[in-house]
Amino acid sequence: MRHLAVLGSTGSIGTSTLDVVEAHPDRLSIVALAAGRNRELFKAQCERFRPACVSVAEPADAAWLQAALNYAPEIHHGAEGLMACATCPDADTVVAAVVGAAGLASTEAALRAGRRVCVANKESLVVGGALMHQARAAGAGQLLPVDSEHAALHQLLDGRAPESIREVRITASGGPFRDWPLERIQAATVEEALNHPTWKMGPKITIDSATLMNKGLEVIEASVLFGLKPEQIQVTIHPQSQVHAMAGFHDGTYQLQVCANDMKLPIQYALTYPERLPGPVPVYDWTQARTWTFSLPDLERFPCLGLAYAALRAGGTAPTILNAANEEAVAAFLAGRTSFWDIQACVAETLAHLGPQPVQNLAQVMACDHEARARARAWLDAHA
Ligand code: MG
């Protein structure tokens, strides 16, 4: 039996995680839940799983929860509450699904506490990759990716000597603007960018899929998780989203990982690894005729992907700067304060302005994150 703390339980990964837990009540249980501001859904989740330790973002919501719940758990709030759930002594497994750089400290603390950490918060790896490895080594914990492409790579590379790998390829659907000409992409609206063709996800990652920044962050994530050089990680556009990653070996052979595009699969894989339990979604249907296509990404129409490679090559805090500027620019775009095309312009300018430093510790990385956000916001204000 695995005892789970789910950080970010009301988001898209969080709710899928709870569905997986519900499908395997004899194998998985919930001991801690943390969420942000969606208190009605969080209350329903708490009453469904009755975890002893829970946390929300705001003190007012913690007070509301205390009065509203039909049982009496330990109720925490804010960053400290998130940390209490991340290091809850009853949990052996932590699902890190908080959105954005806010999830960094809790992922690090869970690794340091020796948990199996199933990481859906890609910023933890992009921004704090080196620190996460240190924390995992210090706590003798385990780090398993929940991102579909990285779960696929984990399945392809597990048990293989790193030197046997020539390259890996992660696939991208290409997002809603895959076939759009440059001029149309430059003028894309929020509504158009949120209309993702194959995955249903939260708004931030959906915009990142439209710019291909999501794939760029995933390239960095793959480098951190599997110790690969930038040139060993390639992106293939595959609109059907059925092949999630490929491993290329030195003899020229490729292995591909295929499954339905439902996040419950990578979530269950990470929770139950190395076992393979019956799937939480229908088995892949090979009786249906299918056409798969593969093509290369166009860096001119999707410059965010190139910016991510540049940040990975620059190393140090460059991925932190990239991520912080992108979060600010995407938030501004979603709020109608900047154009779609200015997301990449803001990230490029912030990267060019702030030079990368070698990564030392979490406080330094977070200070760099704040500095990059301030710089990005100033740029966005000046170009509003
Ligand atoms: Mg992904």
User: What is the distance in A from the centroid of ligand 1 to the CA of 252?
Assistant: 25
- Say if strands 243-249 and 233-237 run parallel, antiparallel, or are unpaired: unpaired
The C-alpha atoms of residue 372 and residue 336 are separated, in whole angstroms, by: 21
Cα–Cα dist 110/283, whole Å: 33
> 211 pLDDT exceeds 80?
yes
Q: Give the tens place of pLDDT for each residue, 131-150.
A: 999 999 999 999 999 999 99
State the distance from the centre of ligand 1 to the C-alpha of 172, rounded, in angstroms. Answer: 8
Asked whether the predicted pLDDT for residue 319 surpasses 90, the reply is yes
Ligand 1 center from residue 214 Cα (angstroms): 7
Using left for φ > 0, alpha for ψ between -120 and 50, and beta otherwise, residue 149 falls in alpha
Residue ranges and CATH numbers for the domains of the chain are 2-145 (3.40.50.720), 152-262+296-313 (no CATH), 315-384 (1.10.1740.10)
For residue 179, the CA-to-ligand 1 centroid distance in Å is 20
Question: Could you tell me the strand order of the sheet in which 28-34 lies?
Answer: 74-77, 53-56, 28-34, 2-7, 93-96, 116-119, 142-145
- Residue 196: its pLDDT value, please? 76
Cα–Cα distance measured from residue 369 to residue 378, given in angstroms and rounded to the nearest whole number: 14
Model confidence, pTM = 0.93
How many angstroms does the Cα of residue 185 sit away from the middle of ligand 1? 22
Whether the predicted pLDDT of 272 surpasses 80: yes
With a cut of 90, say whether residue 332 has pLDDT above it: yes
Ligand 1 centroid–CA 360 distance in Å is 28
pLDDT at site 214: 96
Residue 99: predicted pLDDT = 82
The residues whose Cβ lies within 5 A of ligand 1, an ion, are 147-149
CA of 241 to the centre of ligand 1 (A): 10
| Predicted confidence (pLDDT) at residue 201 exceeds the cutoff of 80 | no
